Structure formats: structure tokens, C-alpha cells
Amino acid sequence: MNFNALLARATQRHESLLCVGLDPDPAKFPVGMKGDDTRIFEFCARIVDATKDVVCAFKPQIAYFAAHRAEAQLEALMAYIRRVAPEVPIILDAKRGDIGSTAEQYAREAFVRYQSDAVTLSPYMGLDSIEPYLPYDGKGLILLCRTSNPGGSDLQFQTLAQGGKLYEEVARLAAGPWNQTAKGRLGLVVGATFPEELARVRALAPTLPLLIPGVGAQGGDAAATVQAALTPQGAIIVNSSRAVLYASSGEDWQAAARRVAIATRDQLNAAR
């Protein structure tokens, strides 16, 4: 099943717009695990166990694994999610951006080594930085568009000579000719911290799935996010990482993660 179909099914089955980001930082692990980078897989797997029936996707961030030489633990985690939650798509958050044979290797890393259902990419080297990912049928390609960090405005909010902002041109290209080349497999990353721009991207890309970080620890408003971006034709994937992962540092950390995930899911649903 391709990424878009997996996402639609998980969203419906779990009545959820919530994606849990798996960003394991051993320094923030709970009692008994804190500071132990050999337990990254264990920590993330227990988060998956606690939330797998209340999410529409999981999003492991590759840097949190690579920084601790934990790529093998990431491989094990991807296999674990596919085994215990086969209906939930996995988005590898890698933000790769390169061309030619290098991009081919990044694509192989995402879809062969890690067996992800989708990957985040930087589109700023153009369409030929996306094309090496296309041979992997059904895989989602989610392009950075209007990111949640304040510095994103340095480039993304620049006015182009022909008018409009750079992030708007990314949305137009992704929704139009690039998505035709990709056979309908593109999505966009748009931060919850900019609800007006989120609504603008949705207007320019009415059918593309939007991966929306920034709800939770970054302060994005869940209700404003849903109202700006959710349409019958356009799916949204609202990511929360730290607020779920580190809901408690005590022995109740799994239960606390589940409580926060359920509360966030319910808050998003209430805004539909």
C-alpha cells in the first residue's frame, strides 16, 4: 500500500491527525534510562507501544540516532513499528537535499535500508534533487516549504521578482508540475507556528498532504492549525515530539506519553 493510502487508512481507523515524532535524546530519558544511548531503541519502542493506536503516523528523526551511532537501533525500530503497527505509516525525517548519484544513495538509505513509507526532503536544488526518489513506487516525498523555525523567513519569505514569496512558489511547483512528475506522491512541510502562511499553502496546494510540526513544545495552536489546513481533499499530519516523548521523567513515563498523545489527538479532533 502506498504512503497516501496508508495515511488515509490510519487517519480514519485511529480517528487521528496526530503524528508522534521519535526524537530520542538520552539526556532527557526517564529514570533508569537517562543518559544511556544503548537504550534508544527500547525508549522509542515503548513510546510506539503507548501511542500506536492513537496516531496517524510516526516520524523518526534520523539525526537523533546517527549522533549516538544508533543507526542499527533505528533499523530495529523501523522493523518493530512495521511489526506491531503495520497500519501506521513511517516518515523518515531526514531533510535530504542533493542531486545525482548522491541523492540516489539517500533514496536507497530511506527506502531500502530503513524501509520508510515517506521521507522529508529539501527542494531547494530543484526537481532533479527529487527525481532519484521516484523509482521507489508509492513512497511519499515531503518537501520543506514553510518551516516552523523563526529563521525560515530568511529565505522562505523572500519576495520573488515575479511577485509572491519563495515558499509560495515551492507550494505551486509541488502542487503542479512536480507532483505530475512524481505521480501524485508529494507533500509539504509547513509549520504550525505560522497559521496564516499555512492557510496560504493549503490554498495553493489543496490536495497535497501537509506535515505540520510545531504543535506542542514549539507552541503552535492545534485548533488554528486544523482550521487553516484541513480540507476534505487535503490530509494533514500534525507532529508532536517532545511534548509526548518527555511528558514525564518518572516511572509513569509511558502512561504520561499516552495521556498527552490522546489529549493532543482529541484537541485536534475537536477543531475539525
Give the containing element (helix H, strand E) for 242. helix 242-245
CA distances from 80 to 115, 154, 159, 192, 212 (A): 11, 39, 45, 29, 25
Residues ≥6 apart with Cβ < 8 Å to 260: 240, 243, 244, 247
HSE-CB of 120 using CA atoms within 13 angstroms: 24
State how far the Cα of 19 lies from the Cα of 178, in Å rounded to an integer: 25
Residues ≥6 apart with Cβ < 8 Å to 237: 7, 17, 19, 56, 57, 91, 187, 209, 210, 211, 212
HSE-CB of 270 using CA atoms within 13 angstroms: 9
Residues annotated catalytic, as ranges: 95
Q: Do residues 117 and 143 lie in contact, with contact meaning Cβ atoms separated by under 8 Å?
A: no
Give the containing element (helix H, strand E) for 60. strand 57-60
80-106 burial: b if 16+ Cβ within 10 Å, else e: ebeeebeebbbbbbbbbbbeeeebeeb
State how far the Cα of 150 lies from the Cα of 9, in Å rounded to an integer: 34
